[in-house]
Structure 1
C-alpha cells in the first residue's frame, strides 16, 4: 500500500499556456465496497456492493474560480477576491462546456469523475481508513458545512486533506459527477456481483452530485451521500472537480 507521500509524488501538474497551473492527484485502482451501511444512510446509498476501478487522476481541489477564468477567459464571471474559492453556480452542462475548452487547450481528455470514482477517491482509495467523511470522522477537521461556513463557500485547502492528499470532498460545494441518477441503481449493481468501472444507469433525467456543501448539514456531507439535480440546475453550492484517466504503465 502506497503512503500519502508516494501518492503525492505521482501527482500531475497541468500548466496552461497563460501560466496558470493546477494539480491532479494519482489514485491507485482497486476494489472497494461502495455505498452506506450506517444508520445515517439513505435508501439510495444501499445496498453496499463491490466495485472495481482502474487507476485515475482526480483534482486535488474542486475547480476554483481562477482556473475557470484561465480557461473560459473573458466569459468568466469571477470576482478578484474569490479566485481560490470553488467555482459555484455552475450546472452539469456548464461543467461540460468548461471541460471541452480545457481539452482543446491541453490536448488531454479531462472529464467529470464517475460517481464510483468520486466515492472511491473521497474514501481514500486503497489508503482509506473507513472514515465517515473524506479524511476524518470529525467533519469540522475536513469540511465546510452549515454549522461552520457562515453561509458561504470558502477558500480551498484550509481544512485537512484526506488520506490521498485530496481536499474538500466533504462540504464546501457539491460536485457534479458524470453519471445519470437512479435511486435503485445500487440494487442493479448488487445483482451483478463485482461491478467494474461502472458508468451509472443508462437512462435518467437527473445527474449525480456528491460531497455535501457549506449549505448542508453533516449527514449530507458523508462520503456515501448521493445528491441529484437536473443537468441544467445551478445553485450557489454547486461546483465540480476534474478527473483524468491514467494512461501508461
Structure 2
C-alpha cells in the first residue's frame, strides 16, 4: 500500500448533471486491485468457485463479499475491523453474518483495519494530480475492450499513474464504500474505473457506475484502503 496525500476532488454525475467538491484526508491505498491469490489466502476459496488465477484480479466479488473480506483480513492481521454488520450476532467462524438485506452496515472511521475507498478517495487517487479524463494514453495504462482480447489480465501489467497506482482504469471495476443515490437506487453502491470489456469512454477517471451490493460479475473486483493513523 502507498500513502495517498490529501487534497480535494470535484466529483460529477452525468445523469443528474451535478458536481460537488470533497476534501480528502491522507490515507493508504493498495497499489493494485486485490488478486485472486490474496483473496483465496484469506477466505480459502474464490467468489466464482475457481481455484487458480494467481495475480489475476479477484473478480465476481459482490460489495458484501468485499466488506467481509476487509474484515476477515483485518482480524487476521490483528487490526480493528472497519465494518460493523447489520445483525447483532456474527457467524460461528467470526464472519459478518447475513447478506446485508436485514439492515445497513456501518463504517467505524476510527478503526485501523482494511476497508473500501470512498468514491472521492478513489477518484483523487486515480487522477494523481492530473486534470484530464485519464492519467495517460489509454492503451498504455488500461486493459479495455480495444486491447484486452475480451479477457481479464494480471494486475500491474500496464503503466501506473504518477503516484505508482496500477490498473486504476480498466481490467476490473472497483467497488467503493458509497451509496450511489439512495433516493433513486436504494442500496446500490458505486463502482469506478471501467473494466476489460468496456469501451474507451467508460475508462475515465470521472465515470460512475452503480450496482446492487449483491452483484457478482466477472469484471468487478476491489482495491483495499486503510485510514492513515499518526
Structure 1 residues without counterparts, runs of 5 or longer: 1-23, 37-41, 186-202
Residues paired across the two proteins, number? 196
- Aligned runs of 1:49-198 on 2, under 5 Å? 49-74=20-45, 77-80=49-52, 82-108=53-79, 109-124=113-128, 128-133=129-134, 135-136=135-136, 138-182=137-181
Give the superposition deviation at 1:49.
2.4
| Distance of 1:222 and 1:55 partners within structure 2 | 23
In structure 1, what is the equivalent of residue 101 of structure 2? none
In structure 2, what is the equivalent of residue 29 of structure 1? 6
Q: Secondary structure at the match of 2:161?
A: coil
| Cα distance change, pair 75–33 in 1 and its aligned pair in 2 (3 A) | closer
TM-score, structure 1 length as denominator? Answer: 0.74
Q: Which of the two has greater helix per residue? A: 1
| Distance of 2:183 and 2:195 partners within structure 1 | 24
| Cα distance change, pair 168–122 in 1 and its aligned pair in 2 (3 A) | same
TM-score, structure 2 length as denominator? Answer: 0.80
**Cα deviation digits, residues 107-160 of structure 1 (max 9, x gap):** 231100111111111111xxx121312x21x21010001111111110111100
Structure 2 residues without counterparts, runs of 5 or longer: 80-112
Q: Secondary structure at the match of 2:115?
A: coil
Aligned CA-pair RMSD: 2.0
